[in-house]
Chain A
Amino acid sequence: MSNYCLETTRLSHRFAGVPVLNKIDLRVPEGSIFGFLGPNGAGKTTTLRLMLGLLKKQEGEISVFGKPFAANRVAVLSKVGSLIESPSVYAQLTAAENLRVLQKVYRCPVERIAHVLQLTGLADTGKKKAGRFSLGMKQRLGIAVALLNDPSLLILDEPTNGLDPEGIIEMRELFRTLNSQGVTILLSSHLLAEMEKLITHAGIIHKGQLLFQGTLEELRVGRDGEDLESIFIHLTKKRA
């Protein structure tokens, strides 16, 4: 059995004949906080959407928890929490009602609703409808939704979008705590300085090609003193 929580093999994808992913072999180690980094249009969101079955796979393989995703979709998704791009919330419902909608499907204890609201700082939102939330609050609700089923794997696309500095620090602490409890976290973000404080592993994608993956220490080999941003720019420019 592999030690990878999530693995893709030669994953390729095209939109209207234009290749956007080219033979991606991504491996997210169990127990890691994996930063999936790349400039806009590099193929990060497409990769994440393929991993979650939101896009029909064209070429390659995806396995999660050591099992092929397509053949085990429902079982796999019951242990995965996700937030892809902008948060998905039902505007006419309150935060608790939004979570109640999903709690029915996940069949998790109803107490989880209050717990994740507390974790994400939304416990006091009461009867306020999600449609009237600020972007930061919607983002927190999106994260609460992702945590609802007590997942073993979290897939979060730009999770700190719209959060204020205090919120970013809170979420960083939350992700660290979750990770220390055994949750594997796959994060995609543009905020490289923020990612550097959090991630244990990185995968760098550019123009649909995976340029690097490994631990942060491996990424820094031969680049002592350089921050993640400089290494990232160096790697992507080299392939430009």
Chain B
Amino acid sequence: MLFINSFRSEWLKKRRTASSLLTVIGALLIPLIVLIARLDDAGALAAVNRQPRLWENLYGRNWQLMGLLLLPMGVVLATSLITQIEYRNNTWKQLCTTPQSLTMIFLAKFSVILVMLVEFFLLFTFGIWLTGVLPGLFFRDVPYPVEPLPVKAFFNGSARFFLDILPVVALQYLLSLRFKNFLIPLGAGLGLYVASMIAVHWRHGYWIPYTYSAYNFMGGAGATFHTHYWAAGYSVLFIGLAYILYITRKEKG
């Protein structure tokens, strides 16, 4: 019950913040681009919507841009913005004098980020679905996709991306809790992302946790190691470290 209250309190705080807006815009941007690209190629739409592997094709096109670019960058930005709510408003001191343990504050904030990520994934998947069905509303000869929506495959694919992005969430959370200056977690996140893009073809590229969503999209590139296990391991390590650093801070607000 206590956790629910802390979570609801944290959830209310993000109202009208950039992180809320980013979740919606970030999730729907790429489906919108894919949709525009599809509508631009109107002549082929009718045939494409009758293809048996339409959804796999749309899923791949959407995730190609999302997994490689927008997801890591969006996570870096949104996670840093959540803790900035307290720094920017000078509210850490108020928060830390409320009757809840520091562990509860830590977990409630982290949970808000995770739920926002789930919200993001759901919106993005909804956006992929729209890229498949909306052309049928614009053009009479374009049918509703013949292939049934592969819900299970979509879910499994999204779950893998979710797991692969978790270490990025955890490390960004650690950095944004630690540093008041927004530019530090943001700069570190973007720097590591660029490094990961350079390292993605390096044989030890998996050492950098920011590479996992790219590896996940590329599929076979990560065949020699288990990306998901590395992602889970890094996530536990970073979140444990973030907790220890947060709880042992000499100054709470």
Contacts and interface: CB of A to CB of B under 8 A. Distances in A.
Interface of A: 49, 52-56, 73-75, 77-78, 80, 82, 84-86, 88-93, 97, 100-102, 104-107, 129, 145, 149
A53 B13 contact: no
Contacts of B97: 52-54, 77, 80, 82, 84
B5 interface: yes
B23 to A, nearest CB: 15
Contact of A93 (B13, B92, B93): B13
Nearest to B249: A56
A54 B94 CA distance: 9
Contacts of B5: 104-105, 107
B36 to A, nearest CB: 32
B89 A88 contact: yes
Interface of B: 5-6, 8-9, 12-13, 15-17, 85, 88-101, 249-253
A74 B93 contact: no
Given A77-B97, A104-B12, A106-B99, A89 B91 contact: yes
Contacts of A107: 5
Contact of B93 (A84, A106, A129): A84
The 9 A-B residue pairs whose C-beta atoms are closest, nearest first, are A88-B94, A78-B99, A104-B9, A88-B91, A77-B99, A92-B16, A56-B250, A105-B98, A54-B252
Given A54-B251, A89-B91, A105 B13 contact: no
B16 A54 contact: no
16 contacts: A54-B97, A56-B250, A74-B100, A89-B89, A89-B91, A91-B88, A92-B15, A92-B17, A93-B12, A93-B15, A102-B9, A102-B98, A105-B5, A106-B98, A145-B94, A149-B99
